[in-house]
Amino acid sequence: MPQPVDARVLGLTVAGGAVGVLARGLILAPVTDPTAAPWVTLAINGVGSLLLGVIVGWLDDRHPLARAFLGTGVMGGFTTYSAFAVATALWATTPGLALVLAAASLVAGVAGAVAGLFIGRRIADVPGEIEPIEDAE
């Protein structure tokens, strides 16, 4: 049976999402060259993945409200899979470039998240390894 949603967590997530969307909008607003926007989105998603990794590694399960606000909210609003997907699809006329953008986005996201987890765990002074799925509870 699904757990009821905690109104505090929901409110903090929504507020954090608004902050993240605003930050992304402020970065993208001055970009007037349509060919530059996908690359700026790539950078936003890479940096956002790094920061999300730091947040998750640092806060872990110790501070669920802060993690909801900063992680799910702010970083969820800051990064954007849909803009990446649309930018890639719009470049279908140049499939090579679309493929490079898609691959770079995936690599930047995963590499940023891994580096962020490492950094966050060092900040929290919890240097453990990533828990194998079969050992997770």
pLDDT in tens, 30-86: 999 988 888 999 999 999 999 999 999 999 888 999 999 999 999 999 998 888 888
The binding site for Na(+) consists of: 76, 79
Residue 125, SS3 per DSSP? coil
Rounded CA-CA distance 9/63 in Å is 11
The binding site consists of: 76, 79
Domain that holds residue 81: 7-128
pLDDT of residue 105: 92
Q: Is residue 135 part of a domain?
A: no
Q: Is the pLDDT of residue 131 over 60?
A: no
Q: Is residue 133 part of a domain?
A: no
Q: Is residue 44 part of a domain?
A: yes
Q: Is residue 136 part of a domain?
A: no
Q: Is residue 137 part of a domain?
A: no
What is the four-CA torsion angle of 44, 106, 127, 119, rounded to 10 degrees?
-20
What percent of the chain has a predicted confidence (pLDDT) above 70? 91
Q: Is residue 1 part of a domain?
A: no
Domain count, the chain: 1
